[in-house]
Chains A and B, each alone.
Chain A
């Protein structure tokens, strides 16, 4: 009950804001900028490490919306989704890296199931929160760009797998694959890390 009501309200606001922008209402436009520019920028940094390019791209997305407001689509379900898709396109145009064909290695997923439960129990029991937090940080600095992108869209932006697939221009299966790969590297990574820290702790004790 609660949930449907909330969704309804949110959609209404998005639609109202969007209608406002189409009419040329500056306050609707500024509130959309205020609401989304920061997280949009955050997403942009996952696509391109040059902050100047990301800034430009975020600007351009908003400038385009304002300039082309009268021609904007009438029905929009999520402004956020629209913006993220637009930004991704922008950045890839900006750095001349428009998506090529996807090469999805579906077989790799199965490989990781081997020896699953064993490593996991070791993991849970030996880790402290501090180590976990270090793991995640390390993970995010080492993963391939697209896996980080998928993680960002899923955990920080909280898009659904379906939305992520559309934003990234890949199949849902690929999104799940990106996520899986990312999380398994977290595990293999953390395994060695926790062992290391165990040794380190032992050294300290003696």
Chain B
């Protein structure tokens, strides 16, 4: 029997044919259309071979790692990098990795009410000094930070990207200081209010038990208390997506993992409950907010209309449980027009201070305002 160069088997392993099936372009299209025109009897063979090539490409590529596995591998690689960097540091002292935004007293920023999003685009830069508002901090290994609020009051934690998290008593947050790659990630148990610095390139992910909450830059509340069966998420500004990451590693084996992710998108004031038992996500009725205490940070709108600065700082102190020190004579009587919803604590301070022409410095849970203030 004569060997047929365009038999099914031959086509499936023909380089030109594979290239055409996987990446068709005008040139190869013409080439294979021409072939079919000249060999009309091969139409079925070509169709069938095409399908096999696609199936082979798809089925041999089914074992990509689950996100958790990717994360695990990256963490390992990253920690070796850090170890090495640490060693290098010992030999030649360099400034520490994480540096904080110190706000230069640049030209006064005119605050327009409502267009908060404008400030979101101010990127945190790597200048200034590292500050931390949290009281309890344990550093297990290099770069891995755990915060536990064992006080009776809210505790504000500022993340390396400038985002702020107000932890309620009993809440626990962990994150890595060095967050390079394509996302920012933290793990939460307990209740916390997040105000996230906008960064379209790096989505911000909060993991709480089996639930992942993903945002680009916005504010929202998560209640993932250990004692509750459900985890609740409520959005204050912007858009948030939540999805279950339960049993992800099992599903990975079955292929087509995309279909297994239940992802729900939440807009302003919307909220969901996620069942820790069955991984189901339920949208909750709007109306009653998750936090009933009107003085809670998640309920504040920080709307200031010709408001004396002393009152502005009072509101900030109460919401974030920090102490703001400033010269009452110089600054206290200046007034402010602004709506500061959605952006993190340090960004709010930055906006206020820019408007007043003063500088701020954050140290522990103390904020010090310096400068001459409004003229």
A residues in contact (CB < 8 Å) with B: 2, 26-27, 29-30, 33-34, 37-39, 41-42, 45-46, 51, 55, 58-59, 62-63, 66-67, 113-117, 120, 123-125, 127, 129, 132-133, 136-137, 140, 148, 151-152, 154-156, 158, 160-161, 176, 179-180, 183-184, 186-187
Contacts and interface: CB of A to CB of B under 8 A. Distances in A.
Nearest to A116: B1
A14 B7 CA distance: 37
Given A37-B65, A117-B4, A136 B77 contact: no
Contact of B73 (A30, A59, A132): A59
Given A59-B73, A115-B1, A120-B8, A66 B64 contact: no
B1 A41 contact: no
B55 interface: yes
A55 B57 contact: no
B18 interface: yes
A38 B81 contact: no
A55 B354 CA distance: 48
B92 interface: no
Contact of A26 (B57, B73, B81): B81
B22 interface: yes
Contact of B80 (A51, A63, A125): A63
B81 A133 contact: no
B122 interface: no
B15 A59 contact: no
B57 A132 contact: no
B148 to A, nearest CB: 30
B66 to A, nearest CB: 10
A115 B65 CA distance: 42
Contacts of B7: 116-117, 120
B283 interface: no
A51 B72 CA distance: 12
Given A2-B25, A42-B61, A55 B73 contact: yes
A136 B56 contact: yes
A124 B62 contact: no
9 contacts: A41-B73, A42-B63, A115-B1, A116-B1, A124-B8, A133-B55, A151-B56, A160-B15, A187-B9
Interface residues of B, number: 42
Interface in B54-80: 55-65, 69-70, 72-74, 76-77, 80
A123 B7 CA distance: 12
Contact of A179 (B13, B63, B72, B180): B13
Contacts of A186: 52
B3 interface: yes
Contacts of B77: 33, 59, 62-63, 66
Nearest to A149: B60
A158 B22 contact: yes
B211 to A, nearest CB: 23
Name the 3 nearest CB pairs between A and B, nearest first: A156-B61, A152-B60, A45-B63
B51 interface: yes
B82 to A, nearest CB: 10
Nearest to A44: B63
B334 interface: no
Interface string B361-373: 0000000000000
A172 to B, nearest CB: 12
A66 B81 contact: yes
Contacts of B12: 183
A38 B70 contact: yes
Contacts of A46: 60, 63
A123 to B, nearest CB: 7
B45 interface: yes
Given A30-B181, A124-B44, A41 B65 contact: yes
Contacts of B53: 155
B60 A148 contact: yes
Given A59-B77, A151-B60, 11 more contacts: A33-B77, A37-B65, A38-B64, A46-B60, A55-B69, A137-B59, A140-B59, A152-B61, A155-B60, A156-B58, A161-B15
A88 B12 CA distance: 26
Query: Which among B1, B53, B77, B180 has the highest number of chain A CB atoms within 10 Å?
Result: B77
B48 interface: yes
Interface string B1-31: 1011001110011010010001001000000
Contacts of B84: 66-67
Contacts of A129: 51
B57 A155 contact: yes
A100 B77 CA distance: 31
